[in-house]
Structure 1
Amino acid sequence: MNAGLTDAAVAERVAQGKSNAVRQRAARSVADIVRANVFTRINAILGVLLLIVLATGSLINGLFGLLIVANSVIGMVQEIRAKQTLDKLNIVGQAKPLVRRQSGTRSLPATEVVLDDIIELGPGDQIVVDGVIVEAENLEVDESLLTGEADPIGMHAGQKVMSGSFVIAGAGAYRATEVGPQAYAAKLTEEASKFTLVKSELRNGINRILQIVTYLLWPAGLLTIYTQLFTTTHTGWRQAVLRTVGALVPMVPEGLVLMTSVAFAVGVIRLGQRRCLVKELPAIEGLARVDVVCADKTGTLTESGMRVSDVEELGGQRPEAVVDVLGALAAADARPNASMRAIAEAYGQPPGWIATATAPFKSATKWSGVSYGDHGNWVIGAPDVLVDPASEAAAQAERIGAQGLRVLMLGSCDVAVDHPSAPGRVTPVALVVLEQKVRPDARDTIEYFAAQQVSVKVISGDNAVSVGAVADKLGLHGEAMDARRLPTDPAALADALDTHTTFGRVRPDQKRAIVHALQSRGHTVAMTGDGVNDVLALKDADIGVAMGAGSPASRAVAQIILLDNRFATLPYVVGEGRRVIGNIERVANLFLTKTVYSVLLALFVGIECLMSKALHVDPLLYPFQPIHVTIAAWFTIGIPSFILSLAPNSERAHPRFVRRVLTSALPSGIIVGTATFVSYLLAYHGRHATFQQQDQASTAALITLLVAAVWVLAVVARPYQWWRVALVATCGLAYVAIFSTPWAQKKFLLDPSNLRVTGTAVAIGLLGAAAIEATWWIRARVLGVRPRLWR
């Protein structure tokens, strides 16, 4: 046996750069995060507009520049916190290969592997670097993650193995021949571990919305610049510049992308506190949209550990002989699974039993065995696989399994276990009864999914009757199906999945087929698992959820890893996803409504200016200066959107994000923009207006805008809870305070002293609010959803 490298040889290779020290995550550094949040397109636009305003000498109108600071600081803080959370959890969740060196064999981070290291392999281990097999004992490798081919490949000494593949059976060791950037693992890890917001309906929807906004901004912005700077010469250049900037600033949806990133980042942090590693951000959103959860039984619904509760002899052997055989089988397994570990804990190795041939356990065959020369050939595995399911021994095993217990059959066979026809004819010797403890929180989790209209399918390699008994304890009633009777036709398989909830004796390829069949019926599928037999299904499911104590291969392909191994953590992931989706929809409604009414108002004023120029009459000034649109954003968008984006929200996620946002924001924005323009026209006194009259007209337009915009907030905040009502009321009262305080009136260039003008503005604003309320009810009817005022 190769003893591995010496410590001196390892140090020498590290010094030469021949180690696997590659960055394990494609996460940005702190410097990258700072640059990405400071040097943004929106900050650039606002920065240029700020410099233009400061050139006029009006410092108060430059108050919107605080948005640049707020956008940058909030984004940086949240993303850095999310990065720190993910990096800490990733250290816990990453695979640690078993490296053999002359100083000893121990688990090391993959980054500490060096060229020529000897790495030991067992079932479920992922191959972390490229190499050549040096030892193989019934070793089988699955390369489906690389090639898509699910058939296992038998490995022998001298064969090459590629990083990214994983072991499904047997044991062995390989020598690292390619490490670091040269190994395929570097590319695989970089791609699979990328911290990203892409490939998300929510993110893609926001990008589409921003594209639409961009198309609106260009004509409205150019028209405003032309009309305010070149047709309103009677007002002076400073007023023209300020009015131009006042029109352009609210067109920019400065907080939409920020609030989306913050909502996702906070979700990562919250889930991290529950020991849940989210490897890809869209997984939070994706699980919120899931309507079917395929759950493995062992390790998910039940505890991973087991204990031997009974051994029932079936005749033909003395009890002490059965104990010896079980002890010998457990001792011969170099990488025991949970069942064999339980047997090893119960029975010690007998003296004088020397293995002459071994057959490792495989999910496809469901048995393992060892030949001992004079002591005979022994197998242990599923009773209904090793003997005729109609036999008395199999029937007895089924009766025991109906109590929710796992049952293995010990049998002797007439050929060596490595013979091509193994196991041959099997003589039943004993039934080994293993007790698994159902997770105490599993039932609550199942009930949560039922309440949320999410179907749960239990798929397991165990006996169908046993799996059905466990499911029944958890409230999943119905007939269990033996997967060996499942049809291979995808349509027929999908029909079977519609009528059954629990499936036993499921092979790994069948788990994948079940996922595909559910997806073919339009379902969004989450797969949970912890074993090597779950990898194919985890990889192809919409969302793969692995247990932290599961195999390295299962953790490698999953988007979400439950580091505390608790199935009960999933509802919190669903809750975070729903919070993100629901809250971002609210925030997008607010920001897009502002952009729509800003663009519409700019177009109204611009068209009026062009018509006035053609008629040789005095053109209309834009109603607002930058300070007006700044205070308008404070309590109708800025502060409320930040609170709403982080607030609890358990509403079911709805599809067609863009349609839902546009059908809400477009009518609201059109109503607010039209009402504001009408109010401004009624209050405007023409070219001969005094500065006081112009301020009164601007104030009237602002009052109308705020009354309608606050009602938009009131609609977006539904269904109401006490704190949402308080939020809307506080925002409305804040504006009442601003408009009624002499100091604020002076600082913010407001003049509500003309009661006739102010009263008309309030009345028009209330009419706009009534129209917004009507569109909310009409929209609900068009979308086919039930309008809810209160939760």
Structure 2
Amino acid sequence: MDGLISVAHGLTSEQVASAKANHIPRRSSRSLSAILRANVFTLFNLVIGVLWALILIFGEWQDSLFGLVIVANALIGIIQELRAKRTLDRLAVINEAPVRVRRDGAEREIHPRDVVLGDLILLGPGDRLLVDGEVVRSDGLEIDESLLTGEADAVHKQPGDQVLSGSFAVAGSGAFVSTRVGTDAYAAKLAEEASKFHLAHSELRAGVANFIKYITWLVIPIGALLIYSQLHNSADLRTAVTGAVAGIVTMIPEGLVLMTSIAFAVGVVRLGRRQCLVQELPAIEGLARVDVLCLDKTGTLTAGGMDLGEVLPVGDGTARTTQAQPGDRAAHTEPGDHTAHAARAVPVDRRPADEALAALANLDEHPNATAEAIRARYPAAPRGWTARSTVPFSSARKWSGADFGEHGAWVLGAPDVLLRGGACLDRATELAATGTRVLALCRTASLAGTERGEAAVEPVALITLEQRIRPDARETLGYFAEQGVTLKIISGDNPLAVSAIATGLGIPGGERSIDARTLPHDDPAKLGELLDTHTVFGRVSPQQKREFVAALKARGHTVAMTGDGVNDVLALKDADLGIAMGAGSPATKAVAQVVLLDDRFATLPHVVGEGRRVLANIERVSNLFLTKTFYAIVLSLTVGLAGMEFPFAPRHSTLTNALVIGIPAFFLALAPTLERSEPGFVPRVLRFAVPAGVLCAVAVLVSFWAAHSGTSTLLEDQTAAVITLFLTTWWVLVLIARPLNWWRVVLVGAMAVLFAAGLALPFVREFFALEPGDLGNDLTAVGVSLVAALMTSVAVKLAGTLRP
């Protein structure tokens, strides 16, 4: 008896104080020490650090300026990730749904980390289980364990059954006592990973990593050849060391990883300011590639809540029908079957629709939107209407019901699910075609028989509900249409009603609707064709949503799925990008990569735009850095094999890299763009960087050779090579910055002005060892650069037309 009293009242404050708490480290971002290690202890920092030390020992300090990139890379990377960390940690706390428990005999909401062993935890539809436990109360409680078992069907739970963390309630209500908390819980690691700031697979990151890996292997032999050549042919050790270091440093795309990280981190911060939580960094990449967006009508196109419209009693006998369910046996019953008798015995007269509605709406202590709308008109259940048994609403059944004893058994749900033919269903279809949500209130002989499709149901009234369209829906949908993103409206409601809403909002193809129950289940190819040709899908089951995502992905689409209900979880999990609403169920938010914390559908264009900005700009930046890498490889190989002096010193490389790569790359990486990224990042970058890099190297070598064959000094020869290097790579910058708008013109123009100023100002010339004293050499350099720029434009255009 004491145990039962304890369960009914929950733990006392004294018991809570001494019980084991549900402490699981929050991992929404990397720790401070991990951020420091990741940005300081890198292979590139090691290589550049060694080269920096060599220059400080053998050369002049001005040639060691490239070493400052270690400090800049580390500081910028650390600062940006710390900003992202603060944003994510703050949003992760907001995203953590409270847990309802009973303590000291009273219900209260607590933080998930405050749950303790032995707590009595209350459950309603959409609640996620954060700890393991044993069910002690069940009112039609159904638990979805698909995230643990992979099985889509919900499991009915009775007192004494075990429940596991990582699952979630989809219907009914109940309570369980926690038996394993913290790291002892079955799905503690799963729950941790669901909100972890981690690096999943990303074509962009994989491409950059491959570039880095291959370049590292090239640097070792080419660097060794260059060092040998410079030591063997140079007049002194200082010149040999500085020449070798200049070649090796230029080959390393030291800023590429940094700019990639900055672009991702800034994207996270920008979206965070719009109350958008990005739970996985590569989700930003997915945003840019989306070409099909599946919208769940409820909660995305329509705002939360509904308003009860009319209660229309059914007055003629022609409306009487039986439930349309697979395996219906109402017309084929055996002698003595109570369902056959019930089908003949249900009388036709007006039923107390108001009382039945009030009783059904006030059954659940955690009502859904439909029940809340009815409760607004019927705030209390009528006297004497006590439920003996209930069937909670679920998205699979599409109806709920209760047996009220002498008042009969009643069900409320979708007319086209509960009814089959007749004037009542025809009238419901007419109402639904106007965009109104319609429910059928029916009396049934048996709840259990109704669920199996065996019992007769009699329509009593049609209920209309007015849905609240989001005020920002039309503008947001228009944005996606302009950007070439195909919309698919997926809903559990009547397809005619959904189509009316879609058409009213101006969705292209909104009139092309289909009832998902007629779609093929065993022919993915046919399903994919229908998905491509239709826009609105009604009466979609949770499992079908998952099939839709798979079929669209199989046809080569990049699919984003939005949702807020527990019926959306499986589809969100399988989509390329899952987007959950902040007011949605905890389970939905746990599996989504992006959570719109403020429930603003209008945030989605900013989400997609941010993804496109990040990817398009990182591709531009990659083109810049890898052009430098390829011209450095060609220069180093040629110099090493020919046994000639390197055409410029490290400080020359620092100057040109800063003006045509470092400064522009920072602005280009953060610039707005509307381009939708396509797969094939690595081939596209190579098609640009290889020809551009090779032609830049050839132009530098020609200028240096022409100058070196005359009577000018080595410094004048190197200055001619630097002029050519700047002009050719500056033209590459112009090509990459396209399409040119006012600020991009200002950016590339400013870089040219800064270089010209560097040549004109004596103290700058002295600092960077520039001596433009030989007019013939300098004019030759300009001429060679013009020819190289023209050839680069042609080569890049031709290479861009090639496709693997």
Q: Deviations over 1:223-248 (max 9, x none)?
A: 1111112x0352x2222222222122
In the alignment, structure 1 residue 756 sits paired with structure 2 residue 776: yes
- Name the counterpart of 2:122: 120
Instruction: Give the alignment of 1:612-761 within 5 angstroms.
Output: 620-684=644-708, 693-761=713-781
Q: Deviations over 1:646-671 (max 9, x none)?
A: 01111121210000000000000000
**Given residue 16 of structure 2, which amino acid in structure 1 is its aligned partner?**
V
- Name the counterpart of 2:497: 466
In the alignment, structure 1 residue 3 sits paired with structure 2 residue 5: no
1:398 to 423, 426, 429: 429
CA contact (8 A) 1:369 1:417 kept: no
Higher deviation after alignment, 705-714 or 102-111: 102-111
| Percent pairwise identity | 51
Q: Matched residues in 2 for 1:218 and 1:233: separation? A: 21
- Name the counterpart of 1:366: 398
**CA RMSD of superposed structures (Å):** 1.7
How far does residue 492 in structure 1 lie from its aligned partner after superposition? 1.7
- Name the counterpart of 1:788: none
**Given residue 426 of structure 1, which amino acid in structure 2 is its aligned partner?**
V
- Name the counterpart of 2:638: 604
Q: Matched residues in 2 for 1:246 and 1:521: separation? A: 49
How far does residue 101 in structure 1 lie from its aligned partner after superposition? 1.4
How far does residue 780 in structure 1 lie from its aligned partner after superposition? 3.5
Q: Matched residues in 2 for 1:35 and 1:103: separation? A: 49
- Name the counterpart of 2:532: 498
- Name the counterpart of 2:334: none
Q: Matched residues in 1 for 2:427 and 2:29: separation? A: 55
Q: Matched residues in 2 for 1:602 and 1:51: separation? A: 21
CA contact (8 A) 1:685 1:694 kept: no
Instruction: Give the alignment of 1:353-502 within 5 angstroms.
Output: 353-388=385-420, 390-416=421-447, 421=452, 424-476=455-507, 477-488=510-521, 489-502=523-536
Q: Deviations over 1:302-330 (max 9, x none)?
A: 111111122111136768x3222211111
> Per the alignment, in what secondary structure is the counterpart of residue 297 of structure 2?
coil
Q: Matched residues in 2 for 1:420 and 1:708: separation? A: 75
Q: Matched residues in 2 for 1:168 and 1:213: separation? A: 52
CA contact (8 A) 1:330 1:344 kept: yes
Higher deviation after alignment, 3-12 or 639-648: 3-12
How far does residue 539 in structure 1 lie from its aligned partner after superposition? 1.1
Q: Deviations over 1:5-28 (max 9, x none)?
A: 111111112xxxx22111132521
> Per the alignment, in what secondary structure is the counterpart of residue 299 of structure 2?
coil
**Given residue 696 of structure 2, which amino acid in structure 1 is its aligned partner?**
V
How far does residue 729 in structure 1 lie from its aligned partner after superposition? 1.0
Q: Deviations over 1:608-663 (max 9, x none)?
A: 11xxxxxxxxxx22122211111011111000000000011111212100000000
Higher deviation after alignment, 34-43 or 509-518: 34-43
**Given residue 148 of structure 1, which amino acid in structure 2 is its aligned partner?**
G
- Name the counterpart of 2:254: 254
Q: Matched residues in 2 for 1:58 and 1:490: separation? A: 68
- Name the counterpart of 2:173: 171
Higher deviation after alignment, 774-783 or 540-549: 774-783
> Per the alignment, in what secondary structure is the counterpart of residue 481 of structure 1?
strand
CA contact (8 A) 1:245 1:626 kept: yes
Q: Matched residues in 1 for 2:477 and 2:138: separation? A: 42
How far does residue 588 in structure 1 lie from its aligned partner after superposition? 0.2
Q: Matched residues in 2 for 1:779 and 1:724: separation? A: 24
CA contact (8 A) 2:500 2:511 kept: no
In the alignment, structure 1 residue 311 sits paired with structure 2 residue 311: yes
> Per the alignment, in what secondary structure is the counterpart of residue 8 of structure 2?
coil
- Name the counterpart of 1:613: none
> Per the alignment, in what secondary structure is the counterpart of residue 536 of structure 1?
helix
> Per the alignment, in what secondary structure is the counterpart of residue 411 of structure 1?
strand
CA contact (8 A) 1:60 1:627 kept: yes
How far does residue 465 in structure 1 lie from its aligned partner after superposition? 0.9
What is the number of equivalent residue pairs in this alignment? 762
- Name the counterpart of 2:223: 221
CA contact (8 A) 1:379 1:423 kept: no
Q: Matched residues in 2 for 1:405 and 1:314: separation? A: 18
Q: Matched residues in 1 for 2:753 and 2:791: separation? A: 22
**Given residue 137 of structure 1, which amino acid in structure 2 is its aligned partner?**
D
Q: Matched residues in 2 for 1:730 and 1:249: separation? A: 25
CA contact (8 A) 1:291 1:453 kept: yes
- Name the counterpart of 1:192: 194
Q: Deviations over 1:231-268 (max 9, x none)?
A: 0352x222222222212211111100000000011111
> Per the alignment, in what secondary structure is the counterpart of residue 546 of structure 1?
strand
Q: Matched residues in 2 for 1:106 and 1:23: separation? A: 24
Q: Matched residues in 1 for 2:388 and 2:18: separation? A: 41
Q: Matched residues in 2 for 1:641 and 1:81: separation? A: 20
Q: Matched residues in 2 for 1:562 and 1:570: separation? A: 8
Q: Deviations over 1:376-431 (max 9, x none)?
A: 2111111111111x211111111111111111111111124587647821111111
Q: Matched residues in 2 for 1:503 and 1:314: separation? A: 28
TM-score under structure 1 normalisation? 0.94
2:377 to 334, 346, 349: 346
Q: Matched residues in 2 for 1:459 and 1:195: separation? A: 29
CA contact (8 A) 2:687 2:800 kept: no
Q: Matched residues in 2 for 1:338 and 1:605: separation? A: 74
| Structure 1: gaps (5+ residues) | 610-619, 785-791
CA contact (8 A) 2:8 2:105 kept: no
Q: Matched residues in 1 for 2:640 and 2:234: separation? A: 14
Relative to structure 1, is the Cα distance of residues 413 and 596 closer, same or farther in structure 2, using a 3 angstrom cutoff? same
> Per the alignment, in what secondary structure is the counterpart of residue 544 of structure 1?
strand
> Per the alignment, in what secondary structure is the counterpart of residue 773 of structure 2?
coil
Relative to structure 1, is the Cα distance of residues 47 and 421 closer, same or farther in structure 2, using a 3 angstrom cutoff? closer
| Structure 2: gaps (5+ residues) | 1-6, 316-347
Q: Matched residues in 2 for 1:176 and 1:418: separation? A: 35
Q: Matched residues in 1 for 2:452 and 2:61: separation? A: 89
- Name the counterpart of 1:617: none
> Per the alignment, in what secondary structure is the counterpart of residue 782 of structure 1?
coil
In the alignment, structure 1 residue 300 sits paired with structure 2 residue 300: yes
- Name the counterpart of 1:180: 182
Q: Matched residues in 2 for 1:783 and 1:636: separation? A: 28
- Name the counterpart of 2:271: 271
Relative to structure 1, is the Cα distance of residues 427 and 420 closer, same or farther in structure 2, using a 3 angstrom cutoff? closer
How far does residue 276 in structure 1 lie from its aligned partner after superposition? 0.8
How far does residue 782 in structure 1 lie from its aligned partner after superposition? 2.8
Relative to structure 1, is the Cα distance of residues 106 and 146 closer, same or farther in structure 2, using a 3 angstrom cutoff? same
In the alignment, structure 1 residue 65 sits paired with structure 2 residue 67: yes
How far does residue 529 in structure 1 lie from its aligned partner after superposition? 0.7
Q: Matched residues in 2 for 1:608 and 1:587: separation? A: 32
Q: Matched residues in 2 for 1:57 and 1:579: separation? A: 42
CA contact (8 A) 1:5 1:101 kept: yes
CA contact (8 A) 1:82 1:266 kept: yes
Q: Matched residues in 2 for 1:753 and 1:759: separation? A: 11
Q: Matched residues in 1 for 2:224 and 2:349: separation? A: 94
Q: Matched residues in 2 for 1:280 and 1:439: separation? A: 28
- Name the counterpart of 1:567: 601
**Given residue 443 of structure 1, which amino acid in structure 2 is its aligned partner?**
R
Q: Matched residues in 1 for 2:193 and 2:654: separation? A: 42
Q: Matched residues in 1 for 2:443 and 2:365: separation? A: 21
> Per the alignment, in what secondary structure is the counterpart of residue 647 of structure 2?
coil
Q: Deviations over 1:177-223 (max 9, x none)?
A: 11111113320023222312330111111112212212321221111
In the alignment, structure 1 residue 781 sits paired with structure 2 residue 801: yes
Relative to structure 1, is the Cα distance of residues 422 and 781 closer, same or farther in structure 2, using a 3 angstrom cutoff? closer
**Given residue 762 of structure 2, which amino acid in structure 1 is its aligned partner?**
P
CA contact (8 A) 2:28 2:88 kept: no
